[in-house]
Amino acid sequence: MCGIVGTLSLRDAPPPAEHTLRKMLATVRHRGPDEFGIYLDNQIGLGSARLSIIDLSGGQQPIANEDESLWIVFNGEIFNYIELRPELETSGHRFRTRSDTEVLLHLYEEYGPACLQKLNGQFATAIWDNRLKSLFLGRDRLGIRPLFYAQSREKLVFGSEIKAILAEGNIPAGVDPAGIAQVFTYWSVQSPRSAFAGIQEVPPGHFLRIQGGKAALKRYWHLDFPPAEEVSTPARAEDYLPEFRELLIDSVKIRLRADVPVGAYLSGGLDSSVTAAIIRNYTGNKLDTFSIAFEDEQFDESGYQMQMARFLGTDHQVVRASYANIREVFPKVVWHTETPLTRAGPAPLFLLSKLVRENHYKVVMTGEGADEFLAGYNIFKEAKIRRFWARQPESALRPALLTRLYPYIGDLNSAGGAYLKAFFRTGLEETSNPFYSHQIRWRNTSRIQRLLSAGFQAALSEQVESQTPLTLPEEFSGWHPLSQAQYLEAVTFLSPYLLSSQGDRMAMANSVEGRYPFLDHRVIAFCSHLPPHLKLNGLAEKYLLKQLGREWLPSEIWQRPKTPYRAPIQRSFIGGERQTYVQEILSPEALADYGLFEPRAVARLLRKAEHGNRFSETDEMALLGVLSTQLWYRQFIRDFEIPEPIGKNDKIRLINLQD
């Protein structure tokens, strides 16, 4: 893992400056504190901040091919690099290191951009071709590793994080109203936008090629599902289990490739437990596990975590997420995510990666991806129930299905039950709407936009393209409804939020790399082509995975209903010993000064929060959305500070080929 940065001079712009690269690298030091590397010629500057995991002594970047016509900086891992290397050696490529980075460079030399199809990994990379004077920026299929860029008339600047682009000094920090509005609809900014005007991300499954001052963005992979009729016939789990078991075990095994120890997160749920069980059962590796215990019992799963740790015999470490430390670290969370947030989940994960690093681990295995590709979330069940309601308006099963999904409601004639029924009826008959599965969530979340100031809403209305719905694949309408819902969840939530704000950013904030066996592209392809009833069987989620869980886990773990990972908002930020930053940054004066939100509307929300009654989940998301946006604006737009450039006390490899 690393942080990568770079600046490409266009037209007759001056050559990149070493000092500029040093400033940019300082902003991503947390991503790779072990050593730094800089390559400079008359047109380009490349930089790497390295977290050494594979080939600790020999893998220092930037790396060149044999004749030094190609140079690479790389962030991430290529898990199948061992299998790819012999093929390249047979073709005449000569290697100087044992690193996966060098394998990727020679693969690019051999196949060009088509090399990305051969990779099993999580990565963002920049490759400079000195002969063609072209820059190649590539990103993994799901966007596990981040990559942003901005282009002016004279320069193209890129980096693993936006703060590196801002540190370059020529790209002004400004607000993209449409990006902010997307957070308050989809829960995250949607690729290729960012929350910053003029700064974009290379979308997942894409590469960007810049040559002769022109940039061309191309897609090399997209999430695909079969036509509905191909997966609608009955099938037995037993027919799919052997291949699924083999794929998942291999996915875990190749993600253990490292020259440093690999630990694992253990949430107490099915996905992380399966991952940890595979490590213990099929590798014999000693395993240290890490988890979060919440002060608030409503969110705490520590009992299941400890049961699983004892079952596997792991050395288990726990960090306690209290209301106070969630509040305390939240400004750091916003600094690392570089975006407004409507959920507090990243904060405990920041604390967790800190614990991992304090225990001298750089790599952890986690269970992300199973919920998206094996239908673990309630949103898939909600859509299924709503479609049944639409088809069977008189069915006596309608209330029973709802109480089965939400047993804590109890009486559907109660106030809570009445609210839930009304909530479910929103757009009920719109089953032909391609966004049917997610329209309730998005409509509900978009209510937060009412808090935006008149000036901000006016600026937003001028961005006509911001009102355009998400672009869907041509074949989308022919997919099974569950496949459609899974696609929307993966594209709008998994990649831009779960793997970013809650994944890469929180782990790398403390120099920790997360690895995700369920996001192996082979596993995704397998799950995408499963019959829907082997994913969501009635209202039983992750059906096929639970059959594997039956083999490897205690019944209390694999039979558990899905518990969503969440963190407390209202009690963390309102009441008690609130830190002054919360009061100050949500004050009418600060709100008016920044100009993003209507102070009176926010004041009403705060009064509602302080009284504590009937403060809904949407209210909590609105509260955190306002707080995080205010923090984001202060940290990046108003008061952005560039850290001291990397310097004499840092280990640096410098290649300067400038005239």
> Per-residue pLDDT for 97 more than 80?
yes
- Polymer length in residues for the chain: 659
Query: pLDDT at position 420, please?
Result: 62
Phi-psi region of 99 (alpha: psi -120 to 50; beta: other; left: phi over 0): beta
Query: pLDDT at position 143, please?
Result: 98
Whole-number Å distance between alpha carbons of 263 and 19: 37
Cβ atoms within 10 Å, residue 451: 23
Report the Cα 265 to chain-centroid distance in Å: 16
When pLDDT is averaged across residues 492-500 and rounded to a whole number, the result is: 97
Whole-number Å distance between alpha carbons of 395 and 398: 6
Domain boundaries along the sequence of the chain: 2-221, 228-374+487-558, 378-484, 570-638
Indicate the residue type of 472: L
The tokens for 549 are 């869980």
Strand order in the sheet with 148-151: 200-201, 148-151, 155-159, 2-9, 44-50, 35-40, 652-656
The tokens for 529 are 């082509």
When pLDDT is averaged across residues 515-527 and rounded to a whole number, the result is: 99
CATH superfamily of 228-374+487-558: HUPs (3.40.50.620)
Q: Give the tens place of pLDDT for each residue, 539-573.
A: 999 999 999 999 999 999 999 988 899 999 999 99
Q: Give the tens place of pLDDT for each residue, 332-390.
A: 999 999 999 999 999 999 999 999 999 999 999 999 999 999 999 999 999 999 998 88
Q: Give the tens place of pLDDT for each residue, 150-167.
A: 999 899 999 999 999 999
Element (H, E) at 83: helix 81-90
The tokens for 286 are 């000693």
β-partners of residue 290 are 265, 317
The tokens for 295 are 């002060």
Cβ atoms within 10 Å, residue 61: 28
| Confidence class for position 315, pLDDT limits 50, 70, 90 | very high
Query: pLDDT at position 575, please?
Result: 78
> Per-residue pLDDT for 412 more than 60?
no
Cα distances (Å, whole numbers) of residue 370 to 65, 229, 475, 496, 528: 38, 24, 24, 16, 11
Give the up-direction half-sphere exposure of residue 247: CA atoms within 13 A in the CB hemisphere: 17
Phi-psi region of 612 (alpha: psi -120 to 50; beta: other; left: phi over 0): left
> Per-residue pLDDT for 410 more than 60?
no
Q: Domain 2-221 is in which class? A: alpha beta
Residue that the structure tokens 């930089």 belong to: 47
Report the Cα 632 to chain-centroid distance in Å: 18
The pTM (predicted TM-score) of the whole model is 0.96
Question: Based on the number of CB atoms within 10 Å of its own CB, is 584 exposed (0-12), middle (13-18) or buried (19 or more)?
Answer: exposed
Average pLDDT of the chain is 94
